[in-house]
Copies of this chain bind each other. A is one copy, B any other.
Amino acid sequence: RSMATSARKSLTIGLIPADGIGLEVIPAARKAILAVQSELPAVKFIDLLAGWNTFTRTGTALPFETVQALKECDCALFGSVSSPSRKVAGYSSPIVALRKELDLYANIRPVISVSADSASTPAVDLIVVRENTECLYVKDEKLIRTDTGKEARATRLITERASTRIGKIAFELAKARPRKLLTIIHKSNVLSVTDGLFRESVRAVPTLPGIDGKFDDVTIEEQLVDSAVYRLFREPQIYDVMVAPNLYGDIISDAAAALVGSLGVIPSINAGDNFVMGEPVHGSAPDIAGKGIANPVASIRSAALMLRHLGYTSAADKIDKAVNDTLAPAKVLTADLGGSHSTIQVTDHILGLIQQ
C-alpha cells in the first residue's frame, strides 16, 4: 500500500483544521511532523479552508481553491467539521465531498487500547477498514409530496469495483498482522443484493488474477452489523481486521473507539491510490472547543498513520512511540482520558519525547 518515497524531494502537506477543536488539534499534529522532519524530505505546509465556519463566511463549506490546492499536495490533514442542527440550503459535509472528490476510497481506523486504563477493559487491537465512497454516502436523495404527506428516498449504492478494492486493502492489512483474521461486516439477511454484492466481492479477492495464493493464510469470517456491535462490546478481542461498507464502518469504528477510553485517541487515514488524508475520528466537539483541553492524540496519530502510509516508517514509529509513552507510563492525559492536562501540555510532552 505504501507509495514509493524515494522519488519525493519535498513533502507538501495540506492542513484543513476546519471547525471546533480541529483548530486546536491540527496545529499539534503539524508540530509533531516538524519534530520528525529529519526523517522526511523538505516539509511544506499549506493552510486551507473548509467547514461550517467557512460556509457561514463564504457560502460554501468546501471552497474550490481548497480542492485545487490539495491536488498540488502530497497528502493532507483534516480536523473536524461542525454541522448545522437543521438542514441549511447549500450546506453539505466537506469531509464526505473530499473523500469522493479525491477518490479516497479506504478509511482505515486502527483502534488500540490505551494501556493506561487496561485493568477493567479488555485489550482491543483491531483495524476498521471502511469503504469511503459509496453506500448511503452517495447522497442521492429525493423528496416528494403525496396525499399522505412527504416521502423521502435515498439510494444505497454498492459496486463490485469499490467492494473489491476495499477488500484488497483489508486483505493486505490482515495479512500483515499476526492473527491474519478478516471479518466482513454486512446485513445480507436483509440487504441480500447490496450487502450480498459487498460480501461476495470481498470474499472473491483471494481468487483474483495476480493474487496467486497471497492471501491463503488469511482467515475470513463474517458478522451481521447488529451482532458485530453487540460482540464488539462483549468480546472485542475476537476482532482483528474488520471490513465494512461505509455507514456500518462509520458506526463500528465509533463503537470500537468507545472501548479504548476515548474517541480522542483514534486516528484514521482516508487513502486513495494517489493521495492520503489523515483525520482524527472524533468530531468538532463544540462543547469543549476553544478551551485548550481537546485531546491532540488522535490528530498526532493520524499524522503518523499518514506518514506510514507514504512510506516514512521511521518518522511514524518515532511519533507513535512518543504518543504511547505519553499515554501509558507518563500518563500525561487530557480530560477525556481522566487527566487534567491541556492540549498544549500533552503535545509538548510528546514533542519532548520525540526530541530525546
Residues on A facing B (Cβ under 8 Å): 83, 85-87, 92-93, 96, 120, 136-137, 139, 141-143, 148-161, 164, 187-194, 196-197, 201, 222, 225-227, 229-234, 247, 250-251, 253-255, 257-259, 263, 283
Contacts and interface: CB of A to CB of B under 8 A. Distances in A.
A109 B83 CA distance: 30
Contact of A194 (B137, B141, B158, B225): B141
A interface, by DSSP: helix, strand, loop or mixed? mixed
A293 B291 CA distance: 53
B93 A189 contact: yes
B229 A152 contact: no
B193 A143 contact: yes
Contact of A227 (B85, B225, B229, B283): B283
Contacts of A229: 229, 251, 254-255, 258
A226 B254 contact: yes
Greatest chain B CB density within 10 A among A92, A233, A283 is at A233
A232 B259 CA distance: 11
A218 B178 CA distance: 51
Contact of A96 (B154, B188, B190): B190
A144 to B, nearest CB: 10
A154 B228 CA distance: 22
A138 to B, nearest CB: 9
A157 B151 contact: yes
Contact of A137 (B149, B190, B257): B190
A175 B239 CA distance: 40
Contact of A153 (B157, B231, B250): B157
A160 B149 contact: yes
B141 A191 contact: yes
A253 B226 CA distance: 8
